[in-house]
Homo-oligomer: A and B are copies of this chain.
Amino acid sequence: MKLYWTRGTCVLAVLIALEDAGASYDSYHVAFKDREQRGAAFLKLNPKGRVPALETDRGILTEVPAILAYIAQTYPDADLAPLDDAFAMGEIHAFNAYLCATVHVAHAHRVRGERWADETSSHEDMQRKVPETMAACFDLIEKEMLRGPWVMGDRYTICDGYLFTICQWLEGDSVDIARFPKIEAHAKRMAARPATQKAVTFWSP
């Protein structure tokens, strides 16, 4: 396997899961600062022009929730998801879909507003609203989703590294994680794990 990744991005969730799984893999750093993700070579590999992309002997996988599910299913001994329990897997997919389609999207309006509007005034409006939308997302996670000690309760899963990853963006989005005591405790619990530490050291800008 070969992971195409970029420092500071949501790829951290994948790096943590690969560490958790004890997977061996190659990696290639895609330089966003040079717009390498929109270059012909990378687009041939991943026409979406985004990271992460995981190259396997069967082809490329994209999208964090999909790659996390793939790692969990490919390394069952790592026990990263309750693979045979359709309802529990549904809860995991739902949590990761919320991070991917609502929380990551809310965050992206701070730095990627040109995806959805053309005017500078619109981009500034979006940027102003990000602290509110991100806080609303994390309020919902704090009150309704995070069971503790791990996202799904007693069992550590592929959801935990993904939540921890998006927490890394809160400060830049002007949201104080201390407003969310359960999430803050979860982030500290994650940060104490050797797999997380190894992934974060590799990933940090």
A interface vs B, CB < 8 Å? Answer: 47-48, 56, 58-59, 61-67, 69-70, 73-74, 86-87, 89-94, 97-98, 100-101, 104-106, 109, 115-119, 121-122, 125-126, 128-129, 133, 140, 143-144
Bound form: Cα–Cα A125–B105 in Å: 18
Copies in the complex: 2
Bound form: Cα–Cα A64–B97 in Å: 9
Q: Can you give 18 contacting A-B residue pairs, CB < 8 Å?
A: A47-B140, A58-B87, A61-B94, A63-B93, A69-B93, A70-B93, A73-B90, A97-B100, A105-B105, A106-B116, A109-B117, A116-B129, A117-B125, A117-B126, A118-B125, A118-B128, A119-B125, A121-B122
Contact of A89 among B62, B69, B116 (CB under 8 A): B69
Contact of A70 among B90, B121, B125, B133 (CB under 8 A): B90
How many Å from the CB of A96 to the closest CB on chain B? 8
Given contacts A47-B140, A143-B47, contact A89 B73 (CB under 8 A): yes
Contact B100 A109 (CB under 8 A): no
Residues of chain B lying within 8 A (CB to CB) of residue A115: 133
Bound form: Cα–Cα A132–B126 in Å: 19
Residues of chain B lying within 8 A (CB to CB) of residue A144: 47
Given contacts A66-B97, A93-B65, A101-B100, contact A116 B109 (CB under 8 A): yes
